[in-house]
Amino acid sequence: MSIRIGIVGYGNIGRGVEAAISYNPDTELAGIFTRRAPEELKSATSAPVYHIDQAKDMTSEIDVMILCGGSATDLPKQSPEFVKLFNIVDSFDTHAKIPEHFSAVDAAAKSSGHIAIISAGWDPGMFSLNRLLGNVILTDGADYTFWGKGISQGHSDAIRRIEGVLDAKQYTIPIPSALEQVRSGSAPKLTTREKHTRECFVVAAPGADKARIEHEIKTMENYFADYDTTVHFISQEELDRDHSAMPHGGFVIRSGKTGLAHEHNATIEYSLKLDSNPEFTSCILVACARAAARMYSEGLTGCKTLFDVPPAYLSSLSGEELRRTML
């Protein structure tokens, strides 16, 4: 019997989950839930669309709800609410607020007897898993996470809020020489500025003061002030033509020592190169939905992360098949 998945929110991640379900024959899309008028939303696979308020009456038709809203306002509210009625998976990605989100979801999941897997994606998610694995293997070592080259949604949004900006896309770019230093095993101490550069493509309103916009971007605290930032002003047409894809990726590197005298170097590197950031995240969400369904079927409850999931639970293959074909 296939795993019946519901999608809450039909943005980039929601559409990505819809696609990912089509890759996994042991899953099926039971419905898409939206805050919009359902009749106005046409899904890419003609899946049934419901108003989000209808979800509560469909608990017997859905095994796992994948919550595809944003981490700023949607998930902090939706995840604890939905887990009262469903097993859920989300990609909550505000790192600093994960402990708080975990607590809220865990309490609700335990009281209702459901499973939640939160912060499932690539960072947090697969990158986190690789940070953990790197740390447990090379206990005397240093961690490095680089992001990009890719579009940062948060930084693009921050530029768009500047007066006189009509549209913008921001690329985060790892600095190749920093990557090389880390790979060499020299365990360098790198400042924020030494790890990444930021490149911005901005559409300014007619007559806007470009010098002021550029200055506001480059000096923006928390977003750009600590980086070497380049700003290009282009037309909306150019932005749409050249910068509408959503590539991303990055590197997690653990560099450390082995041997009784800490005399040998070892380097572990995990990297991603993605044409579509949300589609890749969605593939992880669907694998986690499979794990959530299995954990629930075994009577487990509460909030989990990829740290708590036996990797085999992410796969549709049996333990025997996995050992024979992949071990």
- Contact positions with a second copy (CB under 8 A) in 87-126: 95, 98-99, 102, 119, 124, 126
DSSP letter string over 188-253?
A: ----HHHHEEEEEEEEEPTT--HHHHHHHHHT-TTTTTTSEEEEEE--HHHHHHHS-SB-EEEEEE
Contacts of 58 (CB under 8 A, 6+ apart): 6, 30, 31, 50
How many residues form the binding site for a second copy (CB under 8 A)? 71
- CB 212 to a second copy: min, Å: 37
- CB 103 to a second copy: min, Å: 9
The window from 77-85, 190-198, 208-216, 309-317 that contacts a second copy (CB under 8 A) reads: 309-317
Q: Which of 36, 42, 7 is nearest to 22 (CA)?
A: 7
219-248: contacts with a second copy (CB under 8 A): none
141-170: contacts with a second copy (CB under 8 A): none
19-38: contacts with a second copy (CB under 8 A): 19-20, 22-24
Cα→Cα distances 194→45, 75, 144, 178, 197, Å: 45, 33, 12, 7, 8
272-291: contacts with a second copy (CB under 8 A): 272-276, 279-280, 282-284, 287, 290
Q: Which is nearer to a second copy, 48 or 311 (CB)?
A: 311
Among 133, 142, 162, 190, binds a second copy (CB under 8 A): 133
User: What phi and psi, each to the nearest 5 degrees, are found at residue 103?
Assistant: -60, -45
* Tokens linked to 209: 């003061």
Contacts of 244 (CB under 8 A, 6+ apart): none
Q: Which is nearer to a second copy, 41 or 322 (CB)?
A: 322
Is 212 a binding residue for a second copy by CB under 8 A? The answer is no
The window from 76-84, 199-207, 215-223, 270-278 that contacts a second copy (CB under 8 A) reads: 270-278
